[in-house]
Structure 1
Amino acid sequence: MDDDRKRAILNANQSVYDAIEGGDIDLMRSLWADRDDVVCVHPGAEPLRGHATVSRSWSMVMANTGYIQFFLTDVSVSFAGDDTAIVTCTENVLAEAEGESADTFAGGKAVATNVFVRDRRGWLLLMRHASPVVIVEEGDEE
């Protein structure tokens, strides 16, 4: 695998998380391909289609999110031809606990698939799907 191409994809993928953590909607909009066939599936939600709809959803997410930080693990990159790349990873999330004081945090985990396509602007998101990982506490098993 071409190291430069892999590095470019990992940088593009990291930019997604930088945008979320920084609440930077302009950066997030710039990371998506400007196409009607883009798709975003937020954890536990229905698929959203089209650049404008996906951008609006990120505006809402960022407007309603306090502190959030992602620790990515199990990051894997694969390529489908020269112009499509797929990144899978586990998102270990630390966030401000909803309804609690600003110094109270909650954790969570999701598995994400980010599909990038290359155009004249570089590597851009075509599809993102994040699914929550249900963590079963000891003693909660059936």
Structure 2
Amino acid sequence: MDTTQSDADAVRAANLAFYRALEADDPDALAALVASSVPVAGIEPGQLRASGRPALLAACAAQAPGARFELHPQQTTVLGDVAWVTLVEERIGGDPRFDDEARRVYRTHVFVREGDGWKLALRHASPAPDDALSTSGRSPSLH
């Protein structure tokens, strides 16, 4: 396996670990997966930008209590010490304040390589239409 493929696998594993920590409502696991060597931020539909580790971690924790996530066609790109994952995220259950539109989003996670692995630096989402998971007659790209 070449380095690029093993890096892509490691980024996908970090991304999955992030979602599992959200589902488990595990703040320590979340904190271990968020970058500490660079500024971090999160942007969610209809929410204020969460800038910095404490704000990002609080925003993530508030978004997901009781939720589970289904992740659809994931695309991973690695460029040196930066990588990103794009996907369609479906939140199932959880906070009833999120309307149906906010339950399905186009998601981008940007990761940076830190000493002990790949860490989340940016979490961005935009609303996805009902047919976001349908690829018939469309390019396989997310947007």
Shorter-chain TM-score category? 0.7 to 0.9
User: Once superposed, what is the RMSD of the aligned Cα atoms?
Assistant: 2.3
Distance in 1 of aligned mates of 2:72 and 2:52? 29
Alpha carbons of 1:29 and 1:55: their partners in 2 closer, same or farther (altered >3 Å)? Answer: same
Q: How high is the sequence identity, in percent, across the aligned residues?
A: 28
1:76 aligned partner: 75
Distance in 2 of aligned mates of 1:117 and 1:98? 32
Q: Which one of the candidate residues 40, 43, 61 is aligned to 1:41?
A: 43
1:87 aligned partner: 85
Aligned residues: 126
TM-score (norm 2): 0.76
Q: After superposition, give the CA deviation of every residue in 1:37-63 in whole Å (9 maximum; x if it has no partner).
A: 20111332121111122123234335x
Query: Between Structure 1 and Structure 2, whose CA radius of gyration is higher?
Result: 1
Alpha carbons of 1:36 and 1:51: their partners in 2 closer, same or farther (altered >3 Å)? Answer: farther
Q: Which one of the candidate residues 9, 25, 29 is aligned to 1:27?
A: 29
- Asked if the contact 2:75/2:87 (under 8 Å) is kept, the reply is yes
Distance in 1 of aligned mates of 2:6 and 2:51? 31
- Asked if the contact 2:7/2:78 (under 8 Å) is kept, the reply is no
Quick one: which amino acid aligns to residue 76 of structure 2?
A: V
Gaps of 5+ in 1: 100-105, 137-142
Tell me how far 1:36 sits from its aligned partner.
5.9
Tell me how far 1:131 sits from its aligned partner.
1.8
Alpha carbons of 1:132 and 1:123: their partners in 2 closer, same or farther (altered >3 Å)? Answer: same
